């Protein structure tokens, strides 16, 4: 016996608020766990969970994802700051560049039809998964965040005290990455950690823990700017769903960080890449083919 989709939707909408809150907290926990495990890129799961499990429209899902990323990143950045793993000057360069393009990304998201936005989001997920899978071949690094690192030749250098030499080439390169991060944050509701961490490791010659801490600092500022642009554009953000998402993500962030220290980088990279591919394939099938 086949149950009509309309009947399923009606049953879901009739569920008590407690179940809706549980959904939000559980979905937020998935995002927080993946952020803690990888040091960046976990927010890629937020929009699919909000759209296909909780039933939020894509544009609103982007807004909720941005709130979750910004608040969770604040907590993570504060922890890293305590351990001296946040490089403020370099992070501010990324953040200022990202804050310039985040409103543009939000505006573009309003112009794109929901189906096309979700299809483009799935494409971004495939790109991230492919990058992570290639990096998994390198077994030299064991830190979880290193699964995003690149082997590109260093463009920036540091002095004897370990301070970054901000040459023109270094400045332009880091600013360009920041601009891309801001655009993607506003458009898709992602934090951009999957771009920031490898850029800081490869171009700014940072250690992985310091790159993760600085990335969280950048994600806080860029995410806040993107949320502000969403509100300025008149976008409504459901506080109940957003609050549940944040409530689930923050504790899971610390759990993911603890678990990530027990796993090798390549193992984590492959598992995470497979999960991303499966979610992206589901989005394509659901959005383009109506499965």
Per-residue pLDDT tens digits for 67-97: 888 888 888 888 888 888 888 888 888 888 8
Question: What is the dihedral sign for C-alpha 234, 226, 97, 81?
Answer: positive
* 6: pLDDT strictly greater than 60: no
Asked, for residue 65, whether it belongs to a domain, the answer is: yes
- The residue among 96, 60, 76, 287 whose CA lies nearest residue 189 is 60
pTM over 0.85: no
Q: Rounded to an integer, what distance in angstroms lies between the CA atom of residue 169 and that of residue 62?
A: 33
Asked, for residue 164, whether it belongs to a domain, the answer is: yes
Q: Rounded to an integer, what distance in angstroms lies between the CA atom of residue 147 and that of residue 237?
A: 33
- The total number of structural domains in the chain stands at 1
Residues of the domain holding 134 = 19-288
pLDDT of residue 50: 85
Asked, for residue 59, whether it belongs to a domain, the answer is: yes
Mean pLDDT within 26-33:
85
Asked, for residue 31, whether it belongs to a domain, the answer is: yes
pLDDT of residue 1: 47
Asked, for residue 11, whether it belongs to a domain, the answer is: no
In the chain, % of residues over pLDDT 70: 73
Asked, for residue 259, whether it belongs to a domain, the answer is: yes
Q: Which of 68-82, 110-124, 156-170 has the lowest mean pLDDT?
A: 156-170
pLDDT of residue 153: 47
Asked, for residue 84, whether it belongs to a domain, the answer is: yes
Asked, for residue 13, whether it belongs to a domain, the answer is: no
């Amino acid at each position: 016996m086949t149950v009509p989709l309309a009947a399923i939707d009606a049953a879901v909408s009739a569920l008590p608020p407690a179940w809706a809150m549980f959904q939000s907290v559980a979905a937020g926990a998935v995002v927080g766990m993946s952020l803690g495990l990888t040091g960046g890129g976990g927010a890629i799961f937020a929009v699919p969970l909000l759209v296909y499990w909780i039933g939020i429209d894509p544009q609103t899902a982007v807004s909720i994802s941005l709130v979750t990323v910004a608040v969770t990143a604040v907590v993570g950045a504060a922890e890293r700051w305590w351990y001296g793993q946040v490089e403020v000057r370099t992070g501010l360069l990324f953040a200022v560049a990202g804050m310039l393009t985040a409103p543009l990304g939000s505006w573009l998201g309003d112009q794109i039809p929901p189906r096309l936005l979700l299809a483009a989001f799935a494409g971004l997920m495939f790109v991230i998964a492919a990058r992570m899978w290639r990096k998994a071949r390198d077994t030299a690094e064991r830190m979880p965040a290193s699964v995003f690192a690149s082997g590109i030749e260093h463009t920036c250098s540091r002095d004897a005290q370990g301070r970054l030499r901000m040459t023109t080439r270094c400045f332009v390169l880091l600013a360009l990455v920041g601009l891309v991060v801001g655009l993607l944050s506003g458009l898709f509701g992602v934090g951009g950690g999957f771009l920031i961490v490898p850029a800081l490791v490869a171009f700014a010659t940072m250690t992985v823990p310091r790159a993760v801490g600085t990335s969280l600092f950048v994600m806080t500022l860029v995410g806040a700017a993107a949320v502000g642009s969403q509100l300025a554009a008149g976008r409504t953000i459901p506080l109940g769903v957003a609050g549940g998402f944040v409530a689930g993500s923050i504790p899971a962030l610390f759990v993911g960080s603890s678990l990530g220290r027990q796993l090798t980088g390549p193992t984590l990279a492959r598992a995470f890449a497979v999960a991303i591919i499966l979610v992206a394939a589901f989005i394509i099938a659901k959005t383009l083919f109506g499965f």
